[in-house]
Structure 1
Amino acid sequence: MPHTPLFAASLMVLALATPAFGQTAPVITDYVALADAIDTTMHAHHYNPAELDTPAYAAVESAVRDLAETATNDEAFKDGFEAIWETGPFSHVDLRHEDRNAEAITDWVDQLRVGQGAALSWDGDIAVLTVNTMMGIDTIEQIDAAYDDISARDTAALIIDLRANRGGMFAFKPLVEHVLDAPLDIGVFVSQGWNAHMDRAPGPQDIVGLEPWTGWSIRDFWDSAQANDLTLARLNPDDVHYAGPVYVLISERTASAAEIAADALQASGRATLIGHRSAGQMLSQRVYDMPGGFQLYLPIADFYSLANGRIEGHGVIPDVDANAAEAMDTALELARQ
């Protein structure tokens, strides 16, 4: 259906006390204008606007419009928006109220340090690398340091635990590259440009002659993904190489970039996946400034694994099905055989 702007009149917060003499009146967010801006921005930048011409999206848009008519403060609108999108027709839609604009957020994310993103432990001669997020340059450093240790020791097997990893950015790159034997094209990010003139999913024939993207920064990625119909992601073997058995633990909580990691490790033939089918929430989002100091995160690119197809809505299927709570025991048992 065609995009319909929100025509309802703005509902202002009426219960605010009149400011005393000399005080500045609080700024009141126009929530209807905010809802309209969200919908307009979604139509302008979503990786496939056809997905917005569906009953499912229409229901979300209507619910957000109703929320705009009743919200009395920013927190209520943000919480209500989050609840609506909890069961939305696609993932990676967030509304936040940051202390910086979208441009500053982009710069900040590329330099982000999260603290403890990855940690290495040992069960005898079996290495257990727990990766809790794909965010943070320090997570990348911790993964690299873990592989230094793994490669320096007589490691019988490696278990990579992604069961609680909700994704993030590019820490999946070293996580996979340290075990690769050869370069691996893992998949393509699909933009609005592709969906504007193609009515099918991309396949191996579409990447012939396509130069892989090598920027590995969030700004470069966002720009490349939106400028090109397809953005090819290729991983290359790292000089610090672990050649032994690899087991990867996944669960229904494993999402986004962690799903790329699990899929790539499985596709490489270097790892056995153990656990439950992953979340199926693999889209790439970009941030946009909204009225009232809000920032909208919306999906600008879909991802298709060259081995297994689309991950959004499907997830990554393990090789060995196991209860998430028991997956570690299963992996340790296999590693000791």
Structure 2
Amino acid sequence: MKRMLFAALISVFSFFSCQVKAEEGEHPLRGDWKVEFIHPDIGQVRLILSIEVEKNTFRAHTRKGADKIVLGRWTSFLGRTFTSSFKEGRFIVVEEGKITGEDNGLLLDGIFRSPLGNYYFKGTLVEGKLQVDLTTKSGAVRATLSGNPLAEVLPLADYQNVLEQVFEDTERYLYNRRLIEGKSWQAFKSKMKAISTEVNDDLELVFAFYYYAQKLPFSHFALVRGTMEHIAVNRSEKQLNFEDKGKGIGVLTIRSFGGSTVEMQDAFRLIEQRNIAHLIVDLRGNSGGSIEAGLTFVNHVATTSYDGGVFLTRQWFDQHSQLPTSAQRSTFVSFSDPNVTTLLANIHQQEGIVLLAEPSAKARFRGDLYLLINDKTASTAEALVYALQLERRALVVGEKSAGAMLNSERFSLPEGFTLVLPTADFYTADGKRLDQVGVQPTVSVSSNDALDYVLNLLMNKE
């Protein structure tokens, strides 16, 4: 009798246990999702997001232990020990997730944490489609996620094939072939080959590429996925902002040189209309951009024509191991027209291209010029800062710049990836290389204090 009762209890328990598991498994949010993650720093990557659900709460994360695959055992140990970036070795974690219902689906809220930043996770699940905005405190959309339940077999792509094309393009088009003969390139190549057999999704591959590319002796080398339109999540954001501080003082904030020449010209027409005598140009956090907007800016503040530096191409380094002499520089093509198409054509045809600043005929600023920089000021921004500093046209205030100044181009790869690759080196008019070095400010102050420093300097002049 006892055995029969015990068997019955086991049967009842098993039934309810199965029912609970069935109910748990039926939740539309639970399980593995194939997600498109669009972020301006890494492009449009595919990743696997595992979501756990309990009642009206959820937790989401990428693969456990991915840090060991990408960073190695020792570095991953240090990362977990001294930072909160890699909980259990996961690159992305969504915490404090809350689920609320609506007529047509579910509303999702949580906190998104990753090495790319922490954001508010605000999403919906409607008819099996996950849609999420990652926002800042101000509500600005920084990145997006969208996805469906995972149906593919992992890995998501042939990552070995992607990297083989990376290696081929780099060794063919990198501005100096001697770099690919060095130990650092060979180490990078070997490490990425090994990792390509272990990663499961785009995110893991891109993170690995970024991490090991930092050890190479050149910048502007990156692996992204998707078009530039996909990467620019907030495409409506203006790149320029002008503020009249009164007393002839103006502040022009240039977030990047990714804007248009028209936008730059309009800013200087406004500066001219306001009779600005002291112009502070805030380039803190400006990561560069197009030579078009950069040269347009320089031409509006130049007081005379001057040499803005030289691009040296693969054609030069194939024939020379030294920098060009003055006589050799005089034979290079001069470039003053802010047109990126023309510049790239010359880079593929010429040994060297000399950048020339030519004062603009309209809305030229002739007053006092101050440039604010920090360790995020890079690329085109660094070249123009150094040139204006060298010509004693501007007082440069802040922190040393990033040291990432090369000409880069984009090459299409399999699986929708794009390789960003430097195709020309850059040297200043006085023969200094900015890449891996940076620009030293004239006045060194904390980045946070740079604007106040210049404003106080100008106020005290009154």
The CA deviation at 1:215 is 5.1
The CA deviation at 1:114 is 5.8
Q: Is the 8 A contact 1:245 1:335 kept in 2?
A: no
Aligned to 2:358: 236
Letter of the structure 2 residue corresponding to residue 94 of structure 1: A
The CA deviation at 1:205 is 3.3
Are positions 1:206 and 2:358 aligned together? Answer: no
1:297 to 420, 443, 446: 420
Aligned to 2:368: 245
Letter of the structure 1 residue corresponding to residue 223 of structure 2: L
Q: Whose Rg is larger? A: 2
Two-structure CA RMSD over aligned residues (Å)? 2.5
Q: For residues 58-137 of structure 1, what are the structure 2 equivalents within 5 Å?
A: 58-99=186-227, 115-124=237-246, 125-137=248-260
Deviations 1:117-146 (A, max 9, x none): 011012222100000001121xx3332222
Listed as ranges, the gaps of 5+ residues in structure 1 are: 1-22
Are positions 1:56 and 2:178 aligned together? Answer: no
Cα separation, 2, equivalents of 1:308 and 1:320: 22
Aligned to 1:325: 448
Q: 1:291 to 1:302 in 2, by over 3 A?
A: same
Letter of the structure 2 residue corresponding to residue 201 of structure 1: L
Cα separation, 1, equivalents of 2:413 and 2:304: 44
Are positions 1:315 and 2:438 aligned together? Answer: yes
Cα separation, 2, equivalents of 1:184 and 1:114: 35
The CA deviation at 1:34 is 1.8
Q: Is the 8 A contact 1:226 1:301 kept in 2?
A: no
The CA deviation at 1:206 is 2.5
Aligned to 1:7: none
Are positions 1:152 and 2:270 aligned together? Answer: no
Q: Is the 8 A contact 1:203 1:306 kept in 2?
A: no
Aligned to 1:193: 315
Letter of the structure 1 residue corresponding to residue 268 of structure 2: Y
- Kindly indicate which of the two structures has a greater share of residues assigned to strand: 2
Letter of the structure 2 residue corresponding to residue 301 of structure 1: A
Deviations 1:93-122 (A, max 9, x none): 11121158xxxx9xx99xxx7631011012
Q: 1:198 to 1:286 in 2, by over 3 A?
A: same
Identity of aligned residues (%): 27
Cα separation, 2, equivalents of 1:24 and 1:312: 42
Q: 1:41 to 1:211 in 2, by over 3 A?
A: closer
The CA deviation at 1:226 is 1.9
1:265 to 388, 402, 413: 388
Q: 1:193 to 1:308 in 2, by over 3 A?
A: closer
Letter of the structure 1 residue corresponding to residue 324 of structure 2: P
Q: Secondary structure at the match of 2:376?
A: coil
Aligned to 1:30: 158
The CA deviation at 1:334 is 2.5
Letter of the structure 2 residue corresponding to residue 153 of structure 1: R
Deviations 1:9-52 (A, max 9, x none): xxxxxxxxxxxxxx999995322222221111100000001012
Cα separation, 2, equivalents of 1:76 and 1:24: 17
Deviations 1:262-287 (A, max 9, x none): 11221232111111111110011111
Q: Secondary structure at the match of 1:146?
A: helix
2:429 to 282, 306, 314: 306
Aligned to 1:223: 345
Using the size of structure 1 for normalisation, the TM-score is 0.83
Deviates more, 1:318-327 or 1:307-316: 307-316
Deviations 1:281-304 (A, max 9, x none): 001111111122211111001111
Aligned to 2:171: 43
Cα separation, 1, equivalents of 2:236 and 2:183: 39
Q: Is the 8 A contact 1:186 1:307 kept in 2?
A: no
Q: Secondary structure at the match of 2:197?
A: helix
The CA deviation at 1:212 is 1.0
Using the size of structure 2 for normalisation, the TM-score is 0.62
Cα separation, 2, equivalents of 1:25 and 1:68: 16
Cα separation, 1, equivalents of 2:207 and 2:183: 23
Deviations 1:283-326 (A, max 9, x none): 11111111222111110011111135111111111111111111
Aligned to 1:165: 286
Cα separation, 2, equivalents of 1:89 and 1:181: 35
Deviates more, 1:285-294 or 1:248-257: 285-294
Cα separation, 2, equivalents of 1:268 and 1:177: 13
Q: 1:204 to 1:248 in 2, by over 3 A?
A: farther
Q: 1:199 to 1:114 in 2, by over 3 A?
A: farther
Higher relative contact order (CA 8 A, sep 6+): 1
